[in-house]
Amino acid sequence: MADNEYCTFRLDRLTFGIEVHQVQEVIRPQPLTGVPRSNSVVAGLINLRGQIVTAIDLRKRLELPERPEGEEAMNVVVRTPEGEVSFLVDEIGDVVHVDETTFETPPDTVQGIARELITGAYKLEDRLLLILDVLKTVQLPATV
Amino acid sequence: MGAARGRRSGGRSSEAAPVSEIDEIVGEFLVESYENLDRYDEDLLALERDPKDTEVLGSIFRTIHTIKGTCGFFGFANLEAVSHVAENLLGKLREGELVVTKEIANALLATGDALRGMLSDIEATGEEGERDNADLVATLERLHAGAPVADDVPVVTEAPASDVGEDVAIDEDAAPVTDDEEPPTPRLGDLLIEQGLATPEDVALALHAQELGDKRPLGEILMDQSKTPADEVDQVLASQANARGLAESSIRVDVGLLDELMNLVGELVLARNQIVQLVTEDQDSSFASASQRLNLITTELQEGVMKTRMQPIGNVWNKLPRVVRDLALSCGNQVELVMEGQETELDKTIIEAIKDPLTHLVRNAVDHGIEPVERRIAAGKPETGRLVLRAYHEGGQVNIEIADDGAGIDPTRLKAKALEKGLITAQQAGNMGEREALQLIFNAGFSTAAKVTNVSGRGVGMDVVRTNIERIGGTVDVHTELGVGTTFKVRIPLTLAIIPALVVTSQGDRFAIPQLNLLELVRLEGEQARNGIELLHGAPVYRLRGRLLPIVRLDDELDHTRRDDGREVINIVVLQADGHQFGLVVDDISDTQEIVVKPLGGHLKDATLFAGAAIMGDGRIALILDVLGIAQRARVVSQARERSSALSDQDVVAAVDSDRQTLLLVGVGDRRAAVALSEVSRLETFDASTLEWAGGHEVVQYRDEILPLVRLGDAIGVYGTTAGEGPLEVVVHQVGGRPVGIVVDSILDIIEQELHLDDGDGRPGLLGSAVIQDRVTDVLDVAAIVANVDPARFASDAFLGA
């Protein structure tokens, strides 16, 4: 928090940010092994240098439209108390430095589940940087 | 005792060293002493059996002497004092002035305990505690002062016993026991000179060369100077290595480091696999051969690293002789402990996990299993009971048996006790077969010990034993014969991390099934593939050697769309989980391989179908199927054959009341009825045209016998049954070993659930009714339904002749 640096990525037409210290690494598209009968937002498992990491489809998690066919997802691997989790995102952006004073709580333009998972937004010059609550995001609601 | 002296002077010189370094030295001293004390106990027990074993006595002496010597320079005065008097006593034993008696052995064992206590104080606080060892010291001194034995052993007067430790090699002729005294490892140069292979001058020169910076080993220098033939140096080196012994050829390694290595090797294996795949695409021969070597080396490295985590089970067992001895003394019985297969190796984590359960089982066997001497004599058994520990590998698992030749466990008493404690109801007790009754000992809060001793019989234990063993994927079973003995059989996987697994596919995805759950593979082809699996309205079954095996399709469980059923080949993997068997239909069976089990993240907690994941050779991930999870999900439970055969018909009827039931649901008219699956021996379909009449009953010919039929609708007064032309669905039930068929309209399902019986409307042939799958369902009293059919009649020759 202190350094106000965020790793940014794109999902649909939105730009999201995760605090830099929560991000372990960013890796290119990985082969996914699906897990039948698991939560629908779980895209599958990836092999991260011998470690098995659950990949969560952030588009599904945030109830955004599905990623178009043929578009491969990048992995943003985040650290959580329960081990690493990979977020599948559309495109990786820069690490940005933000000005604390430009922060605002979630704007009404964000609706649905996303409102719970987004702590707020930094008003960048050309767009809004939506800040994702990583811990809430990896806590999947119980399903069937 | 040159080694000890060296250590002592080394200790002095390091006094100025930083505190952490001293801590480290003390730490090493503690670890070493604990290990030595463990061996000390074993040695003492061995000595008790064979007081003349000078080798063992030497080892005991060395242990105490080393502790005494080392704690001297650390300034642990109490520790030194106790070990000093013990050493004196041992000195007399070594000199042959005393022989080991039970009293001496007890005192020496107590010494070991006292030393351990002080060591643990040092470990915890850095200082020896204020333990009062005056009694022990007095006992040791008294024993030490005891009269020398009047044997013809030459009494050594030269060396007072208290000095023996300082100067052991004094008189080799008079005291042959000193022969086994561990000499410092002989130096190569000395050995070569001794054997006349090199002159002292040559060796001195070579040593000088080393001092001047020649880094080569001594033997090599001598060889290069052609002073000594190469093969002889090798020979002497080999003998030197032997002299070095086990203690110096092994080192301690942090287990965390091994775990890390294991992970790294795992990654290396994957990188290796990728390279090996690249080679086939790119036919560069030098690259190919290099990668071939990489391949081999990696495989060996992997095996090697895995081996580092393996330990012989003897490491756990070696504590047991002492446990048995002490316990037998306090229980007043005599027990001979026999251990077979100590060298059987297990993963370290598993060794740790089974330590307590095993100790508990052994304690139980000594305390409750083996009878006191008088009772054994009265029963015509040898006075000394036998407790056999046996470990062996079998099918990728380790079996451990703990067998005693004691009184055995009385199932009737178990039941009475369980009843008294309110663990079971009178009715349950009545229905319980012997095997089930035996399982009662694993219940929490259960103990049959008539008296509560300080070791066992506190009502905690066996349930914990079972829980602990099951936690590591093992099972525990008990067999007993009254008056003959009891055997506990523990089966555990070799390692938690690496398991043999069968790799199967479903819709192109690979899945691993732990070998532990695998019973057999069945392959159906052609005609069999089309008809082998009989669909009973949503409950498919396969007749495996005449038994109904519930069938689960992996595709269904995985929510994959099932491919058409017209397959030419059907692969059934017969699995067992929690005592239930079922067949899993998979698309394809690839092979068995060792997989490294990796846990799934917390986000997949609800994916109960999977026990973990593994990374396969190509770097892709395969999920490991949780066989129990699948069984529960699919609600398949096959009938417990053993149980049904052990119970009489009446038992079965009563058993309907007990909690969970596996039921076969059938349709009759517009009603549904349920029958305990344990009552069902087969399900058959007959063409209506094969119906015949005999002896006032409808019958069909069935397996060279005549099968009398009862129409369920008639028997329970449900009418409107379609007595049409269609095939007859028949539930075959056995009465006195003879089949009777119950004709139903349809077979609906096999389910498992708790049965809450309402009394029903008192119609004949019913036990009552219950709500099953949201429908009111009649629960059948099979015995009553078939009561007026005597199948034996149809079997008699007279009848067939008629």
Q: Is B418 part of a structural domain of the chain?
A: no
Note whether residue B443 is domain-resident.
Answer: no
- Expressed as residue numbers, the domain containing B21 is 2-180
Task: Give residue-wise pLDDT tens across range A29-70.
Answer: 988 998 888 888 999 999 887 778 999 999 999 888 888 888
Regarding whether B508 and B488 lie in a shared domain, the answer is no
Q: How many angstroms separate the CA atoms of B121 and B124, rounded?
A: 5
**Helix or strand run (H / E) with residue B66:** helix B54-74
How far from the centroid of its chain's Cα atoms is residue B420's Cα? 32
pLDDT bucket at B293, cuts 50 / 70 / 90: confident
Q: Does B169 fall in a domain?
A: yes
Over its C-alpha atoms, chain B yields an Rg (Å, rounded) of: 36
Contact A10, A90 (CB under 8 A): yes
Please indicate, yes or no, whether residues B324 and B290 belong to a single structural domain of this protein.
no
CA dist B78 and A142 (Å) reads 61
Residue B509 lies in a domain: yes
pLDDT digits 0-9 by tens, B230-270? 666 666 666 555 544 445 567 778 878 887 887 788 778 77
The proportion of chain B whose per-residue pLDDT surpasses 90, expressed as a percent, equals 4
pLDDT of residue B173: 39
B-contacting residues in A 71-90 (Cβ below 8 Å) = 82-83, 85
Q: Are residues B26 and B117 in the same domain?
A: yes
Q: Is B710 helix (H, G, I), strand (E, B) or coil?
A: strand
3-state secondary structure of B166: coil
In this structure, is residue A114 part of a structural domain? no
Q: By C-alpha distance, which of B115, B120, B126, B121 is closest to B23? A: B126
- In the predicted model, what is the mean pLDDT of chain B? 74
Chain A CB contacts of B601 under 8 Å are: 52-54, 82-83, 85
Alpha-carbon distances of B589 from B501, B580, B623, rounded to whole Å: 11, 22, 15
Band of pLDDT at residue B539, cut at 50, 70 and 90: confident
| B274 and B235, same domain (yes or no) | no
Flag whether A79 is in a domain. Answer: yes
DSSP string, B298-324: HHHHHHHHHHHTEEETHHHHTTHHHHH
Cβ–Cβ gap B603/A56 under 8 Å: yes
DSSP H or E run through B589 = strand B588-596
- Together in a domain, B21 and B150: yes
Query: Which residue, of B462, B493, B524, is where some domain finishes?
Result: B493
Residue A35 has its nearest CB partner, among B557, B599, B623, at B623
Q: Is A135 on the interface with B (CB under 8 A)?
A: no
Q: Do B621 and A52 touch (CB under 8 A)?
A: yes
The answer to the question of residue A141 being in a domain is: no
Strand order in the sheet with B671-676: B746-754, B660-668, B671-676, B775-780, B766-772
Asked if residue A102 lies in contact with residue A3, where contact means CB atoms within 8 angstroms, the answer is no
Q: How many domains are there within chain A?
A: 1
Q: Identify whether A138 is part of a domain.
A: no
CA B30 vs CA A66, B35, B126: distances in Å: 62, 9, 11
Q: Please give the Cα distance from B785 to B341 (Å, whole number).
A: 55
In chain B, whose CA is at the least distance from the CA of A85? B601
Residue listed under structure tokens 């809430």: A136
Residue B95 CB partners (closer than 8 Å, separation 6+): B153, B155, B156, B161, B164, B175, B177
Q: What are phi and psi of B237, to 5 degrees?
A: -60, -40
Q: Do the chains contact at B606 and A52, CB–CB below 8 Å?
A: no
Q: Residue A99: is its pLDDT beyond 80?
A: yes
pLDDT exceeds 60 at position B179: no
- pLDDT score at A89: 94
> The domain that contains A67 carries what CATH number?
2.40.50.180
For B630, name the nearest residue in chain A, comparing CA atoms only: A37
Q: CB of A24 within 8 Å of any CB in chain B?
A: no
CB within 8 Å of A27: residues ≥ 6 apart: A48, A74, A75, A77, A86
What is the SS3 assignment for B499?
strand
**Is B26 in the same domain as B63?**
yes
Residue B646 structure tokens? 């052990």
β-strands B580-586, B547-553 pairing:
parallel
Token couple for B120? 């643990």
B351: distance to nearest CA of chain A, Å?
A: 25
Residue B133 and residue B65 share a domain: yes
Judge if B119 and B61 occupy the same domain. yes
Residue B335 phi, psi dihedral angles, 5° rounding:
-130, 130
The pLDDT of residue A3:
58
Range of the domain at A82: 5-100
Cα torsion for B754, B759, B763, B764, to the nearest 10°? Answer: 70
What SS3 class is residue B469?
helix
CB contacts, 8 Å: A36 with chain B: 557-560, 607, 609
Instruction: State which residue of chain B sits closest to A139, comparing Cα positions.
Output: B603
Q: Which two tokens stand for residue A119?
A: 């702590």
Q: Which residues of A touch B266 (CB under 8 A)?
A: 50
The reply to whether B487 and B514 lie within a common domain is no
Strand partners, A26: A76
8 Å CB contact between B607 and A38: yes
Q: CA dihedral in degrees (B608, B610, B612, B613; nearest 10)?
A: -140
- Tell me the average pLDDT across B535-555: 81
pLDDT at B644: 33
Spatial distance between the Cα atoms of B674 and B760, rounded to a whole number of angstroms: 13
Task: Report how far residue B644's alpha carbon sits from residue B651's, in angstroms, rounded to the nearest whole number.
Answer: 9
pLDDT at B176: 39
Are B637 and B580 in contact by the 8 Å Cβ rule? The answer is: yes
Is B266 within 8 Å of A37 when comparing Cβ atoms? no
Nearest to B521 by CA among B495, B546, B549: B549
Report pLDDT for B45.
84
Query: Rg of the Cα trace of chain A?
Result: 15
More confident residue, B43 or B170: B43
Interchain CB distance below 8 Å, A54 and B613: no
Q: What is the DSSP letter of B790?
A: -
**Structural domain includes residue A125:** no
Rounded to the nearest 5 degrees, what angle is found at the Cα of B426, between the Cα atoms of B424 and B427? 100
Contact between chains at A35 and B615 (C-beta distance less than 8 A): no
The least confident of A47-51, A128-132, B404-408 is A47-51
Q: Is residue B434 part of a domain?
A: no
CA distance B155 to B138: 24
Contact A54 B623 (CB under 8 A): no
Give the distance from residue B558's alpha carbon to the nearest chain A alpha carbon, in angstroms: 5
CATH number for the domain spanning B40: value is 1.20.120.160
Q: In what order do the strands lie in the sheet with B498-506?
A: B588-596, B498-506, B509-514, B621-625, B610-615
CA A105 to chain centre: 18
Q: Is B534 exposed, middle or buried, given 0-12, 13-18 or 19+ CB atoms closer than 10 A?
A: middle
- State how beta strands B746-754 and B660-668 pair: antiparallel
Report d(CA B635, CA B580) in Å as an integer. 11
Q: Are B794 and B694 in contact (CB under 8 A)?
A: yes
Q: What's residue B287's pLDDT?
A: 82
Nearest Cα residue to B612 out of B624, B622, B603: B624
- Both B605 and B680 in one domain: the answer is no
Burial of B335 (0-12, 13-18, 19+ CB in 10 A): buried
Q: How many domains does chain B have?
A: 6
- Please tell me whether residues B363 and B295 are part of one structural domain: no
Report DSSP state, residue B587: S
Tell me the C-alpha to C-alpha distance, in Å, between residue A14 and each of A7, A86, A132, A143, B225.
14, 19, 12, 26, 80
Q: Which residue has the higher pLDDT, B391 or A106?
A: B391
Quick check: B509 and A34 CB within 8 A? yes
**Residues of A whose CB is below 8 A from B606:** 38-39, 142-143
- Residue to substitute from A38, A80, A87, interface B, most B β-carbons within 10 A: A38
The pLDDT of residue B366: 87
The residues that bridge with B728 in the sheet, in sequence order, are B686
Average confidence (pLDDT) over B17-30: 66
Q: Would you tell me how many other CB atoms lie within 10 Å of the CB of residue B604?
A: 23
Q: What is the pLDDT of residues B454-511, one digit of tens each?
A: 444 434 467 778 877 877 777 888 888 888 889 999 988 766 666 778 999 988 889 9
Q: Per residue in B564-608, pLDDT tens?
A: 556 778 899 999 876 678 899 998 898 887 787 777 877 777 777
Cα(first)–Cα(last) distance of chain B, in Å?
99
Rounded to the nearest angstrom, the minimum Cα separation between A123 and chain B is 32
Do B753 and B781 sit in the same domain of this protein?
yes
Residues of chain A positioned with their CB less than 8 A from the CB of B267: 49-50
pLDDT value, residue B265 = 82
Residues of B in contact with A143 (CB under 8 A): 606
Give the containing element (helix H, strand E) for B385: strand B384-394
Its sign, for the CA torsion B742, B743, B745, B748, is positive
Exposure string of B569-583, with b = 16+ CB inside 10 Å and e = fewer, is ebbbbbbbbeebbbb
The CATH number given to whatever domain includes residue B732 is: 2.40.50.180
Q: Decide if A102 touches B, using CB distance below 8 A.
A: no
Burial A14-27 (b: 16+ CB within 10 A, else e): bbbbbbeeebbebb
pLDDT at B281: 63
> What is the predicted pLDDT for the residue at B740?
85
List of chain B residues whose C-beta atoms are within 8 Å of the C-beta of residue A83:
601-602
Task: Say whether pLDDT at B74 is over 90.
Answer: no
Question: Each residue of B602-618: pLDDT tens digit?
Answer: 777 777 788 888 888 77
Domain final residue pick, B180, B203, B237: B180
Q: What angle do CA B352, B358, B359 make, to 5 degrees?
A: 100
Percentage with pLDDT > 70 across chain B: 72
How far is CA B86 from each of CA B41, B73, B171, B465, rounded to the nearest angstrom? 14, 18, 22, 38
